[in-house]
Amino acid sequence: MKLYHVGFEKVSMPRCSSCRDFLDLGKGFYLVPTLDQARSWAEKLQNYRKAKPVIGAYVFDRDLAMERFRYLYLPRYDAAWLGHILESRSGKMPRESYDIIEGGCVDDRIVDQLHLFEYGYAGKDETLRRLSGFQSKLSICIHSQDAADICLKFKGYISL
């Protein structure tokens, strides 16, 4: 499956340990499955940082990853997804149980719902009801360097 990584540096060989902590799916190398999603993210980064991002293209062997590595799949904005996101954001590091996590992105549509819940303006049931109205845009976070080395192959860069 084709995947795309957006950042400010060219990355042909990902290093999972050099990524930031406390991100939504945990610390790791993040990828998205569509070029449209990557371009949208790149535009937001460019507006935010006033620098030109780079989109890297990769091929990911998902079947091999699911067979050989600890793979968590959270395709819907549901209670399992919400619990994982909140634990990751708080630093509890649930990612340590997994090599790869695939789950819904926390984009502009979703972050507002999370903030309402995190700051006590909406309860869990209300938050899950609101989130259920959104179609999940998936992202994949590779935590394990072995998983990245074995299952992810760099294919080139894409211009914006």
Does the pLDDT value for residue 34 go beyond 70?
A: yes
Kindly give, in sequence order, each residue whose CB lies less than 8 Å from that of residue 68, ignoring residues fewer than 6 positions away.
147, 150, 151
Does the pLDDT value for residue 93 go beyond 70?
A: no
Does the pLDDT value for residue 51 go beyond 90?
A: no
Give the separation between CA 140 and CA 103, rounded to whole angstroms. 7
pTM of the model: 0.89
Does the pLDDT value for residue 1 go beyond 80?
A: yes
59 band by pLDDT with thresholds 50, 70 and 90 = very high
